[in-house]
Structures are given as structure tokens and as C-alpha cells.
Structure 1
Amino acid sequence: MGFRTKLSCCAAALLVPATTLSGCGSDAAPSAATASSPQPSSSVQGAVQGARLQDPAELVSRDGLLRTRIVVERRKVDVGGRKLWALTYNGRYMPPTLRIRPGDTVELDFVNRLSPYTNLHVHGLHVSPSGHADNVLIHIHPDETFHYSYRFPKSLKPGTYWYHSHAHPLSAPQVAGGLAGVIVVDGLREFLPPALRNVTEHVIALKDFQVQGDAVKTEGLKIGAPTNRTVNGQLKPTIPIRPGEVQLWRLANISANIYYKLRLRGQRFTVVGRDGFPVDTTFARDTLVLEAGARFDVLVTGGPTGKTVLETLPYNTGPAGNQFPQADLATVVSSGTPVPPVALPSAFAPPEDLSRLPIAVRRTVAFSENSAGTKYYINDKQFDPNRVDFTSKLGTVEEWTVRNDSNEEHSFHVHTNHFQLMSINGRPHHGHSLQDIADVPTKGHIVIRIRMTDYTGKTVVHCHILNHEDAGMMAIQEIVK
């Protein structure tokens, strides 16, 4: 993993002048104290409950280019209304949202002030996995600046993505410590009816932290330990909406290890996107399960005047897994002048369907672990950065059976290309879009189809429960011409 470069380190400016840093228009709220922890055994003391939701600041591309800098360092910052030592991007526990459009270029100076090393992954984005793009096989060492250069295709899908550390085997402690933020690719509104083109939009970044003394815990992480679940780094914020108003929420699980089963009491989520891919047909759900790394773009309609709760319901990942308890995440307050009803869309984006394309290769990807839950495997092998596990040809479609031989669920993730989830435990599945994350049931299997487009190079396949990835559940896929 010797791919590294060192540039002259400039002054410690967090943002370069060419970058736009902004809130989310009139919907952004000023800084305020935040609410108390949902789990008393790991609670954050002294926070004020009910602060208005703050959308993260934004770094926005202009004229096809986003040129910026991200500084990685450990700092004492506001985390859920309390000053704690955390790992930060640009001095924030909830860092800026990177906002781009299809076809854009991103030039990013990445300054590392951590020890021993880190790197950056742009999760879900269809971009080269090689060189100075989405190359997760590099290490950026302390006091080094690495220049990332991403050139995104015009075919890039609009939706919600995220960025985080992918430094093996440190991804779990670094993401749990704070190194995770949101990426938005604009263009989703173009599929909405005219009456909703100016819809209010909120990032709902689901990010949890455990506390050790006066710091966010990064060592000895236990997946099922009591934790503080935040929305945009806030504990139990308040989300304002008018009765009948439709809002676009970008739900993103950017936690290191945990699952969410979201419910907005008394309301339904209308799904318009999954993992950065707009759906072909919208669908409504009372609950949405966001396995580790997953995202949903949803429309939410304000109910009658009053309050309701955005919560995560109890969720069990299996006999060898974890039981995540119920927790309130935010309070949605419906008030003000009612908005006349607007019909929500049904047909949405052009369909993406790989089911009728010829299959070049069929393969099996088996997830397993030892009885102690300390070592994790793909096809009976632990991750080796010097070994290629799968070789795929550019321009072909492959069908993979992803098998889970363990007694806990795993969050299957592929870099570079999205896949179509064809079936779960033999039952046909139609998710209305491609995706980059899928839950694999205990002692079960899923079947996916994936097309290798545009880019060659070494990329990775892994479980996005980052404790599992760090303990070996990752493999290298090389895409060749």
C-alpha cells in the first residue's frame, strides 16, 4: 500500500476561497444546544432538548467544478450538545455536505493530521477506483496532503451518497470517531412534478457515538453497546413542517456499525431513491430498514397540527448479532398555515433493469466468521491487499449469489458499480432501482446482477459493518478490459 504523494502543506485553512460554504437556504437554522441522549447508560449530560434541526453546511460545485480542501484532525468540538474530543473533517463532527452535479469534477486536497494514517472513500459514487480517484488501497500518513481528483460521468445518478474513512483496518474506529459526511448529487428534483420542484429538503444523517470520558470512543468498539444516535450530529432535534407540506428527506445511515429501522409515527415514507439511484416507480412504506451504509431519498407529508416522532424501532440482526433498542431520533412539529394537497408522483425515473442482459460469469460470494466473532471471511479468506479475489471484464454483466453462512446479518457492499438485487432467499425481489448496499439474512442468500461499466482497476467488496470489514470481511475485485 505504498501509493502516496506529498504536496507542500499550506496554512491550516479549513476551506479554500474557491469553495462555496453555505447552509441549506432558508431552512438552515443557527447553532443551538441539542437534546438529551436516547440511551441513559451512554448518555450525554447537559444538552438542551428540542433544538431545531440544522442541515450541514455545504461545499457546492460551480460551473462543473468543486475545488476544496478537507483537513482531518482530532479536535474538541460540539458533539450532541457537549464538548468532546472527536475525529473531524474541517473541524466538525458533522462535516460539510459535498454537493455536485453529474459530469462535475472534484479537485480535493486532503490533509491528514491524524496518526497513523487515513484515506477517503466516496461511498456509492460511480467513479474510477484507481490512482487519485476513489482508491481505498492507499494510506495517507500523518502530515501528508494527498490530492484527490474525481471526474464524474454525466450519467452519474442523482441522489444521496456519503464520504468516510476506508483505511484498513482502521475504518470502524475512524468512522465511529466522526469521519463521515454526506454527498448530494443534484438532479432528483427534475423527476418531481412541477408543484414539488421547490420542495424543502433536509439531510437526515444518522450518525451515532459512544462516549469514553471526554471523548468519542474509538477503541474497543462493541457494536451492541449503548450508543447515542444523532441526526446531523444533534440529539433529538425538532423538524418543522406545515400541515400538508411535502418535504424531501435524505435519509443516510453514516454510522460505523449499527442498523436503523425508521418509522415516522402516523406517517408513511414515499421512496423516490435508494443508495443514490432514483426509483422507476415510487413506493410508500411505514418503516424503512437502513442497514449499515444504506440511504433512502423519501418524500414526507406534514400531518395535522401537532407533533410526531421519527424513531428507530427495535431490530435484531440474529443469534450471533446484535439487538438494537428503540430510540427517538427527532420530533417533527407540524404547524402554521396548511398547504394545499399535492399529488405525489408514481412513475419516476427511467428504469434500470439488468435482468434481460446476457450473463458472462456466475460466482458465489460467501460471508462467514469464526465462532468467537473475532475473524471474518469472504470465501474462507481474510482480506489481503496484495491478493486479487475476483477478476471481472469491463462491459459484462455478472450474477453473484451472496451467501451468509453465519448467524448474524451482514451488510453487503460493492464499490464502483451499483447492482440489481434479484432475489432474497430464493424469492424474487424488485427494488425499483439499483443499489450499492443489501442486507444478507442469517443462514440465507441473495442474488444480484452487476454490470461493469466505464472503469477498470482494483476495487473492493465487503461487509459494511465496519468492525467486520476491519476484521477481514473484504475482498478485492479487479476489473480489466
Structure 2
Amino acid sequence: MNTPAFRSLHAPPRAALALCLALALPGAALAQDAPAAAAERVAAPPVLARMLRSTDAAETTQKLLTTAGARPLDTREAKLDLVVGVTTSKIWNPATSRYDTVELRSYQSPGTNPAIPFVAPTVVTAPGETVRIALKNDLKPEPDCAQPSINTPHCFNSTNLHSHGLWVSPTGNSDNVLLTLRPGVSFEYEYNLPADHPSGTFWYHPHLHGSTALQVSSGMAGALIVRGERLPSPLRNGDLDTLLREASNQPIPERLVMFQQVAYACRDGAGNIKTAPDGRWICDPKDVGRIDNYADQFGFGTWKKSGRYTSVNGVVLPTFTGLQAGRLERWRLLHAGVRDTVNLQLRELRSRSAVPAGLAGKALETWVEKNCTGPVLSQFEVASDGLTHGRMIEKRENVLQPGYRSDVLVAFPKPGRYCVIDAAAPASASVTQAAEDRQLLGFAEVTGLGEQIDTRALILRQLSASAERNMPADVLARVLADLRDGLKLSAFAPHRDIAEKDVVGTQKLEFNITKADEYQIDGKSYAPNQARDLVLGRTEEWHLTSLVGGHPFHIHVNPFQVAAIYDPSGKDVSETGEKDDPQYAGLRNTWKDTLFVKQGYRVVVRTRYERYIGEYVLHCHILDHEDRGMMQNVRMLVPDGKGGGILPGHQH
């Protein structure tokens, strides 16, 4: 964790260097034929994007005239070149103990890790900065990619870009997901982060209706981290980054942990997916796996049937290294998969257990049950979807739905080897509505002294000491009192609570899948010429339900605060959670941009429509559901002064 490459993740976005660089970190070794040792597969963080910043340039034509003469003008801009192309690499297959060759649509930029080119670079920025991403679509032309219905997946080589969770404009060349970039087209996106933008963990991925799931499943996704240096004051809250510091006043060590579900398949001469006798997908040594067909590579139960493994930073069954017993770390968890739930759990591995080799399916599940038997470690969640909580939420298991981010503080109590597992989730907790198999995600190698530690006490002690060193005198007492009162973080939450009395309107939304296999919101499949009208400046309450299946609700631009989650009996489970499913526990009053809506439940959230007008979308974040019609346009109107709204540019 102390390597220069890892520390570079903490570098401020405006460092005075010629370029903001990060060295390519060691990833999976690309063995050709021989089985690879587990030590080759390290859960290294994705490379940092090489971004040119205005303050970095040796020469600049922009000058600010002052009384002392002309000096360079800091435009607070960061620029990144990003190319969408096809890359060839390898993914470890535990079932065969060898690498499968894959050819995937990927983001490429200067510094992309050649060993794992399908993992996009991590963009690091700050409030008040403008991020320019020059996106070039270098995929092959598709002369005729039209479909009889817009909700039939199509145009797999056309794309665009979405900055998931950023609080920026949805129009023009900002976070505009209604744009289409055909092969051969270049386009520069411009994200103007306001000065009061929350710091946190966000991400980016394609969002063109019809091709989103296929491209994200191919690995087109990257983390986007907003770092903040704002200290709290009596008049405003600050950035959690200023509190999460060690005794040396360096940031607490971080790990970016990005989960992806790359559903590649190899085909026979007739175009059918090759399968083993048990039905799982297989690739022969000279085959090339691809993601090229919605009909048989996506849909209900497909991921489980495939036998593929959730990767961590592009590596299957990696080892987490550099961990020290009793040392607090911040893990930025990002579910960048398409459809299947991840239930993260950390458990000590039984001593003298051999690392499994050649096990898959039920055999590997049985191995996990017999060997990953230590106590479940607590994860203390400090933020979800990039937004700091008002208090930490202690979790023994962390249920992540597609699109979720979870920032957690973890500490391993003693040295040894630990299992990082996707624990079995009950049917009600899963997007597939079936109990998920427990699946090993990797191992954590922990060194250090054998002294047992209490993680909650460690967090209180370390963060209190950090507050004593760093917090201003006029907020110090408040910060310390909050920490002692159940690890509260009220001085760092980015948004004010929304009280019931503040609500002036109600919106209702219902997910459904019909017997005719139509994917709908409010009884209709996606129609680009229809929109839900909202009025800027209002505060409203949304009631979210699902008739068939569970669906992660995601809305662009404005996040929301959880008010209540009612189970089918009418009980609010947003604080206590449920006996067989922990995912709703502690969610009351938290802020999110993506939230799972179970079948038969009623989820109540509140949101403010602030600052940005224009048209954007809400949808289910099971991305093949979105591509097939489970999406709706949102049109934010300008107030008309009479309690209603008018379209921008229209004179009434």
C-alpha cells in the first residue's frame, strides 16, 4: 500500500507537473500456455488517467493581466484523450486453470495497462474543475444497424459517455446521454464541476440506448474520483477527505475495488456458444472470447449459467497485497457490472488451507464453505454512491447492486490470509430473484503483528486524533462529539436533510416486465419523444415500486434521500433491515443515486431539483433491462411563476 504507484492516487489534481501521471501497476501476467501461479494475479488498482491540466503546461497562451504584468491564467481544466476500440487480452479461467483470450470493446488512453486494457483509467478531479474528455469512437462502421424497435438492442459500435453520479449539466456536451457517436466520430465532453460539488467515488461508462449493456459488460467502465480539501465551518460542511488521515497527516491508505462481470463467450462453427456438459461456457485454447450477441449472452440467469467470474480491477481471483494488521484502510467499492448482485464479505481463511486450483461451480462453493470459516469482518460504510453519510453504517456484508458505490473503512484484526467472497444472497436481495451462489472473489494477504484489534475503537481513536490535528477550532467540538455519538459524520454530509414539510409534490414510478417480455416504466417501454416533466426548484417525494422482479432505480443529475422502505406487510425496513437480507439496514436518511426496488415493496425517496435544466433519463441499472425499454426521459422545466413550468426557450 505504500508503493509510489499507490500513493499517487492521493496526488492533488492540480499538481505542478508536466503531466499528471501514474505508472502502470502490476496486473495479471499474460501467461501463454502454462498455468499461472496465484501470486501473479494481484488486485492492483486501475491505472490513473494521464490528464493534462492548465497549471501543468510549460507554455500557455492564456494570460491574466495584473498590476505586476501578465501571468498565466489557471483555467482549472483537466483534459483526457479516450479512444473506444477493440483490444485483445486474457482473462484467468479458474475452471480450466488457464487464461482465455478475449477480444473486447475497451476505453484506451495514454498509460492504459497493456495487461488489462479493458479496465479504463481512473479519472481524479476536484470541485471547481472542468474535466474535458475527448472521446473518439474507433470501432468498426456499421452500415445498417437499424432495428424494427428502438427497444431492441442494436448499434453495438455506436456509443456515448455518461459521468454516473456527477452533479453537472445534462445538456449540450456535458453529461448528455441523448447524444449518439457513430464509428469514426470524435467528440469532446465537458464536465463543469461546481465549486460545491461533493467529493466522493463516482464512475463513467457508455449510455447509448441499445448498446449500453453490451459495452459495459465488455469492460467499458472506469472510476471517477472527486477529491476535496474543504474543511468544515459553522456555516458549511466539509469534505470527508480532510478527516480520513493518519498520524503522519497523510490520507488513510486507499484501495479502489472495481467489480466487473465480463460475460465473454466462444462460439463453434455454427455460431453457438461452446458449453461444457454441465452447461457452463467454455473456450478452447485457440478460441477468442467475445461479447457480441444480446440474444444468448444477456438476460435472466445468463451470468450464473455462463460460469464466468466477477473480476476485481480486471483480475479473476486476485490477491490483495500490502495489507497490515490493525491498519485502517478506505476501500472504494464500485459495482461496474451489468446485472448480477455482489454481496461482499471478508472472512479469515482456515489455517493450513491450500489455495483452490481447478475448482469451479459447486466444488468451489463447497471449498469456500469449508475453508472461509473465520468471523465476518465489519465494514464501516462512510459514503454510498459518492455521498458521505451523516453517520457510519456498520456492515458485516455489503450488498452491492449494479451501479452502486460504497466507501468503507476496514481493518484486518490480525495477520494471515483472508477470503474476499461474494456471499450467498437470498432471492429477495438479488436482481435475478434467485439465491446467488457463494463465489470466491479473491484472497487478502495480511502481514504485521498478531495483536487483536477492535475496528470500531480504532476508527474512533484515529479519526478523533485526526480531528484534533486538522479541524478548525470552531467546529472541533462538534466533530468530536459526533464521532463519540455512534461515529456520526454530520459535519461532512454534502446535502441538507429533506423534511416532510419541505415536500411540495409527489412522483410515482412503477417497474414492470410483462408476459409479452416488454420492459416498462409506468406501463410503457422507452419512447424518446415522451418525458416526465419536473419543475426546477421544487422538492418532491418519489414512490418507487416494482410489479415483477427487483430493479436498481437510477436517476441522473439530482441524487435523492431515502425516507422509508416499506415491505409487503407495510413495515418500514429502512433502518433495521430484514432478517434474511441486510441491504436496506441503516439506509434511512442516507443519500444515493441508485437504489434497489424489490418486487412488492414501496421505496420512498425525496429529492430537490437544483440548478440544472434540460432533458435526461431515469432507468433500471440492470443495463440490458434499460436497453430493452426500462428507461424514461426526464425534462426539467423552468418555473413559469404560476406553480408550473415551461420549456427552456419557449415564450408563453
- TM bracket, shorter-chain basis: 0.7 to 0.9
Overall identity of the aligned pairs, in %: 29
1:416–1:357 CA distance, 2 compared to 1 (3 A): farther
* 1:177 corresponding residue in structure 2: 218
Which of 608, 621, 626 is the aligned partner of 1:469? Answer: 626
User: Do the aligned partners of residues 450 and 463 (structure 1) sit closer, same or farther apart at CA in structure 2, a change above 3 Å counting?
Assistant: same
Partner of 2:102: 84
Q: Does 1:329 align with 2:449?
A: no
C-alpha separation in 1, matches of 2:524 and 2:325 = 54
CA displacement, residues 284-342 of structure 1 (integer Å, 9 cap, x when unaligned):
11011111110100011022111111111123257973443111112111113579984
Deviates more, 1:446-455 or 1:49-58: 49-58
- How far residue 20 of structure 1 moved from its aligned partner, in angstroms, is 2.5
User: Residue in 1 aligned with 2:20?
Assistant: 20
Correspondence 1:59 to 2:49:
yes
Residue identity in the other structure for 2:102: L
Aligned match of 1:343: 459
* Higher helix proportion: 2
- Counterparts in 2 of 1:207-222, with a 5 A limit? 207-213=260-266, 214-219=288-293, 220=296, 221-222=298-299
C-alpha displacement at 1:347, in angstroms? 2.3
SS in 1 for 2:241: helix
Please report how far the alpha carbon of residue 181 of structure 1 lies from its aligned counterpart in structure 2 after TM superposition: 1.1
In structure 1, the partner of 2:609 is 452
Q: Which residue of 1 aligns with 2:119?
A: 94
Question: Could you tell me how far 1:146 is from its partner in structure 2?
Answer: 0.7
Distance in 2 between the 1:296 and 1:142 partners? Answer: 34
Identify the range of structure 1 (339-348 vs 217-226) with the bigger mean alpha-carbon deviation: 339-348
Report the Cα offset of residue 210 of structure 1. 2.1
Give the residue type in structure 1 aligned to 2:106: T
Q: Structure 1 CA distance, aligned partners of 2:30 and 2:346?
A: 20
Name the structure 1 match of 2:372: none
Cα distance change of structure 1 residues 470 and 186 upon mapping to structure 2, 3 Å threshold: same
Measure, in 1, the Cα distance between the counterparts of 2:329 and 2:522. Answer: 43
Could you tell me which amino acid in structure 2 is paired with residue 332 of structure 1?
A: A
Is the counterpart of residue 49 in structure 1 residue 38 in structure 2?
Answer: yes
Partner of 1:30: 26
- The answer to whether the 8 A contact 1:208-1:230 is kept is yes
- Separation in 2, partners of 1:460, 1:48: 45
Q: CA 1:216/1:160 → structure 2, altered by over 3 Å: closer, same or farther?
A: farther
- How far has the Cα of 1:70 moved from its partner? 0.5
Matches within 5 A, 1:375-394: 375-388=518-531, 390-394=532-536
Greater Cα shift, 431-440 or 100-109: 431-440
- How far is 1:356 from its partner? 4.4
Q: Does 1:401 align with 2:401?
A: no
Q: Which amino acid aligns with 2:632?
A: A
Alignment of 1:185-204 (within 5 A): 185-187=226-228, 188-192=240-244, 195=247, 197-204=250-257
Q: Is the 8 A contact 1:243 1:305 kept in 2?
A: yes
| 8 A Cα contact 2:329 2:410, kept in partner | yes
Identify the residue that residue 352 of structure 1 maps to in structure 2.
Answer: 496
1:246 matched to 2:328: yes
Give the paired residue count.
450
CA contact (8 A) 2:28 2:315 kept: no
| Range with greater deviation from structure 2 (70-79 or 96-105) | 70-79
- Partner Cα separation in structure 2 for residue 412 and residue 223 of structure 1: 18
d(CA) in 2 for partners of 1:291, 1:248: 20
Task: Name the SS of the counterpart of 1:382 in structure 2.
Answer: coil
More divergent stretch after superposition (113-122 vs 74-83): 74-83
Cα distance in 1 for partners of 2:459, 2:624 equals 43
- Gaps (5+ residues) in structure 1? 1-16, 36-43
Secondary structure of the 2:214 match is helix
Q: 1:273: Cα distance to partner?
A: 0.7
Give the 3-state SS of the residue equivalent to 1:21 in structure 2.
Answer: coil
Q: Letter of the 1:190 partner, please give it.
A: T
Contact 1:410 1:464 in 2 (8 A): yes
**Aligned alpha-carbon RMSD (Å):** 2.5
Change in Cα spacing, 1:182 to 1:230, as seen in structure 2 (3 Å) is same
The Cα of 1:216 is off from its aligned counterpart by 3.5
Shift of residue 66 of structure 1? 1.5
Residue 89 of structure 1: how far off its partner (Å)? 0.4
For 2:378 and 2:615, locate their aligned partners in 1 and report how far apart those are by CA, in whole Å: 40
Note if 1:281 corresponds to 2:424. no
Partner residue in 2 for 1:423: 564
Opposite residue 551 of structure 2, the aligned amino acid is H
Cα 1:269–1:139 change in 2 (3 A) is: same
Query: CA offset at residue 379 of structure 1?
Result: 0.5
Specify the SS of the correspondent of 1:83: strand
Secondary structure at the counterpart of residue 251 of structure 1: strand
Aligned-pair CA distance for 1:343: 3.2
Taking the aligned partners of 1:293 and 1:97, their CA distance within structure 2 comes to 16
2:378 counterpart letter in structure 1: R
| Aligned AA (1:324) | E
Secondary structure of the residue that 1:70 maps to in structure 2?
Answer: strand
Cα offset for 1:370? 1.2
Residue of structure 2 in register with 1:104 after alignment: 129
| Mapped contact 1:168–1:470 kept (Cα < 8 A) | yes
Q: Deviations over 1:395-453 (max 9, x none)?
A: 111111111111x1111101001001111115163535310011101122201111111
Tell me what 2:189 maps to. Answer: 148
Give the distance between the partners of 1:163 and 1:205, measured in 2 at CA: 12
Question: 118, 126, 130: which is aligned to 2:171?
Answer: 130
Cα distance in structure 2, aligned partners of 1:45 and 1:119: 39
Q: 1:189 to 1:338 in 2, by over 3 A?
A: farther
1:82 shift after superposition: 4.3
Q: Name the residue aligned to 1:410.
A: 551
In 2, Cα distance between the equivalents of 1:45 and 1:99? 37
> What residue identity is the alignment partner of 1:365?
L
1:269, CA displacement in angstroms?
A: 0.4
Classify 1:163/1:46 alpha carbon distance in 2 versus 1 (closer, same or farther; 3 Å): farther
Distance 1:193 1:76, change over 3 A: closer
Residue type matched to 2:342 in 1? Y
Instruction: Report deviation, 1:169.
Output: 1.1
In the TM superposition, residue 218 of structure 1 has moved relative to its aligned partner by: 3.8
Worse-superposed segment, 266-275 or 222-231: 222-231
- Residue 267 (structure 1) aligned with residue 353 (structure 2): no
Shift of 1:48: 3.5
Partner deviation per Cα, 1:102-146 (whole Å, 9 max, x = no partner): 111011110001254100101111110001000001100100001
State the 1:224 CA deviation: 2.3
Contact map agreement 1:376 1:472 (CA 8 A) in 2: yes
Seen in structure 2, the aligned counterparts of structure 1 residues 400 and 334 have a Cα distance that, compared at 3 Å, is same
Cα distance change on mapping 1:377 and 1:18 into 2, 3 Å: farther
- 2 CA distance for matches of 1:314 and 1:45? 32
Matched with 1:6 is none
Asked if the contact 2:25–2:47 (Cα under 8 Å) also holds between the matched residues in 1, the reply is no
Distance in 1, Cα, partners of 2:573 & 2:607: 16
